Structure 1
């Protein structure tokens, strides 16, 4: 279980450091995909080849519009203050 705690700790530090605590549940699956990608390649010695593969996959993949990516669209915040 020590390795699981290490991975969860790294994930929390990455989310807080990279997204400054502004990670939303709508994008959580995409955040996790990025974390797994980075975690699996953290000790790679072929950085140029990794960049080439990432570029190839991003060009070959279908574009994902923001509206499709977001599950729940939030409305504007209410400015009604009942003081």
Structure 2
């Protein structure tokens, strides 16, 4: 069909940030968020919750109405069942 394929790895690219710009944006914002919000402390047992919060904030980073961010967070908090700390830390453990 007349196309010529040229593969380029990120390390060999002339402009590394142009290879996968979305990935670089997400990774740099995640590192900044971990350093600023979590003070470089990310536990493996709560990693999925930290990433959920980051995803929530990332998806709403360009929201025009900042108040709606808090409103949506309250909506989601009210719509879910309560989860005691024990259930979050040790799911499936019958008790202390």
Pairwise TM-score range, normalised by the shorter structure: 0.7 to 0.9
Unaligned runs of 5+ in 2: 1-19, 92-96
1:27 aligns to 2:50 (yes or no) = no
1:16 aligns to 2:35 (yes or no) = yes
CA RMSD of aligned residues (A): 1.6
The aligned counterpart of 2:77 is 58
- Larger Cα-atom Rg: 2
Query: How many residue pairs align between the two structures?
Result: 72
Q: If the length of structure 2 is used for normalisation, what is the TM-score?
A: 0.66
Q: If the length of structure 1 is used for normalisation, what is the TM-score?
A: 0.75
Give runs of ≥4 in structure 1 deviating > 6 Å: none
Unaligned runs of 5+ in 1: 73-83
Highest RCO, 1 vs 2 (Cα 8 Å, sep ≥ 6): 1
